[in-house]
Amino acid sequence: MTSPMMRKLNGLLKTETFGKVIHYFDETGSTNTVLSRLAQSGASEGTTVIADTQTSGKGRLGRKWVSPPGVNLYISVLFRPSLPAWESPLLTLLASVAVTETIRKTGIRNTSIKWPNDVQIEGKKAAGVLTEMEPRGDRVDYIVLGIGVNINMTREQIKRQLGETAKFATSLKENLGGDVDRAKFAGDLLLELETWYETFNRRGKSSIMKEWTERWGGYNKRVRVSTEDGKVIEGTATGIDGEGHLLLKKDDGSTVGIITGDVTVI
């Protein structure tokens, strides 16, 4: 705990286990990469890595997460759930619900989830989740859950940092018209993650799937999906299955499950 933000967070934390061990960096490549290494050497569940800036912030499918210093939150939390490996996407859903609730606590109302991993404010991306799973046989050994939240970036900074894609992105500050305390946000997020994880462990996956669906902006909407292998499919987004896959009802009446892809409401 070396920064004022971390000292403040330490005083604010209301969790039992999540964030009780935090490794903080003024700068690192990727908090997910750091936490994966810690996980491999036996770090316990709830171990957290936070950085003020990332030089190689990761998105999904080899994409980049733009991570300027002094304004946002880049955080990774270690999970060691007792789950079959194929159910690990459920943790992405859980994190999206936790992020949505934390954003709502700042006073922002029009927050929704875009399958599988975006949290949007008025249809623009304010946060992203990157779930990286290490299997042991067909079970989960550990999951590194990385979350990036645009907190205090201004429109000018978003434009400068994101260029072409700036029009699809936003920050909490842009919506609230003022700064958000990053330490408080991080503390609230860790508490939300811990609470939803307890719910998941106690009540099972249907509880998280229900909560996720209630916050999902694409529910029953007509969507276009670009899959990882370059295919484009259109249909109605009817739900998610027990492994977190998107269920798409095509025009011929058949339903397909999408494992990874980018979804646009049309």
**Using CB under 6 A, which of 19, 39, 47, 65 touches ligand BT5?**
65
Q: What part of residues 69-88 is at the interface with ligand BT5 (CB under 6 A)?
A: 74-76
Beta-carbon contacts of residue 217 (< 8 Å; ≥ 6 apart): 112, 113, 114, 120, 123, 265
239 binds ligand BT5 (CB under 6 A): no
8-28 burial, b if ≥16 CB within 10 A, otherwise e? bbeebbebeebbeebbbbeeb
130 binds ligand BT5 (CB under 6 A): yes
- One-letter amino acid identity for 154? T
Tell how strand 124-136 and strand 139-149 pair up.
antiparallel
How far, in Å, are 5, 94, 174 from residue 181 at the CA level?
9, 23, 14
**Using CB under 6 A, which of 5, 13, 18, 32 touches ligand BT5?**
32
How far, in Å, are 32, 39, 55, 87, 152 from residue 49 at the CA level?
8, 11, 15, 24, 20
Helix axis angle, 89-105 relative to 205-214, nearest 10°?
50
Q: What part of residues 165-194 is at the interface with ligand BT5 (CB under 6 A)?
A: 165, 169
> Which residue's CB comes closest to ligand BT5?
128
30 binds ligand BT5 (CB under 6 A): yes
Q: How far is the CB of 170 from ligand BT5 (least distance, A)?
A: 8
Residues pairing with 92 in the sheet = none
Q: How many residues of this chain bind ligand BT5 (CB under 6 A)?
A: 29
DSSP string, 241-263: -TTSPEEEE-TTS-EEEESSEEE
**Using CB under 6 A, which of 21, 59, 226, 256 touches ligand BT5?**
59
For the chain, the maximum distance between any two Cα atoms, rounded to a whole number of angstroms, is 58
Task: Draw the binding track, 137-156, toward ligand BT5 (x: CB under 6 A; -: no contact).
Answer: ---------xxx-x------
**Using CB under 6 A, which of 8, 20, 60, 159 touches ligand BT5?**
60
131 binds ligand BT5 (CB under 6 A): no
36 binds ligand BT5 (CB under 6 A): no
**Using CB under 6 A, which of 5, 13, 22, 31 touches ligand BT5?**
31
Q: Which of 17, 24, 35 lies closest to 2 in space, CA to CA?
A: 24
**Using CB under 6 A, which of 23, 58, 182, 215 touches ligand BT5?**
58
Give me the residues that bind ligand BT5 (CB under 6 A), please.
Answer: 30-32, 54, 57-61, 63-66, 74-76, 117-118, 125, 128-130, 146-148, 150, 162, 165, 169
